[in-house]
Structure formats: C-alpha cells, structure tokens
Amino acid sequence: MAHYTILGRDPYWMNFYGLMLLTAIEVGAVGANLESTAETLGMTENGITLWILTIIAIPKFFMIAGIFMHLYGDPDSGILTMTALFPAFFIIIMILFIGLTHPDAASGLPAWCRPGAWGL
C-alpha cells in the first residue's frame, strides 16, 4: 500500500478507475462513426480515431508509469524515474539516427516490413 492518497483514496484504485475510464473512451472512439467529424476537419475517419487514441495514450502512460511503476509518490521515486528514463534516451537516439541517416526511413519501408508481405 502506498503511503499517500489521491483525492483521499488509495492511489492504485484511483489509477485503476482512471485507466478504465480512459479505456472506455478509447473503445467508444474506435466504435463510433466519426465520418462527419472527419469531413469537417478534412481528415480520414481512421486519422481522427488515431489522433483520439494517441491523445488518450499519453495520460495512460503517465498513470501507469507514475503509480504502478512507482515513479511518483514513493520516497525513492527520483532514482526510479532516472533508472526508467535512462534506456529511453538511447531509444530516442536510435530512432533519430535511423530517421536522419536514411531518407526514406519513415515512409519507405522495405517489402518484408509492410503489412501483408508475410501472407498471414
């Protein structure tokens, strides 16, 4: 059990309720007909859904990392945060170098990397 509370309640349960709420919004966004909204914004329906899912993924990431991975609220959360962020630095560097050294890195995937190439 945590030694702190969120809105006077146990942080694990509050995090669980928040994650369930955000997951319900995600399921609703995938199942909703967003065609008229997409036309209004000049985007495709899949593009709108992708934006919604990406925007909701950000707070879910912080909720999971902060509470379940103990990166927030614990006495040693500072060192845990630095330990968790250390590999992220190398992942970002790797992605940047791939993107900067290969001009078609983001758009020109090799044939074996494209969906449907494996015949599944």
DSSP string, the chain: --SS-BTTB-HHHHHHHHHHHHHHHHHHHHHS--HHHHHHHTS-HHHHHHHHHHHHHHHHHHHIIIIIT--SSSTTHHHHHHHHHHHHHHHHHHHHHHHHH-TTTTT---GGGSTTTT--
Q: What is the mean pLDDT of each run of 10 residues along the chain (120 residues)?
A: 68 88 91 85 82 88 81 69 78 74 59 62
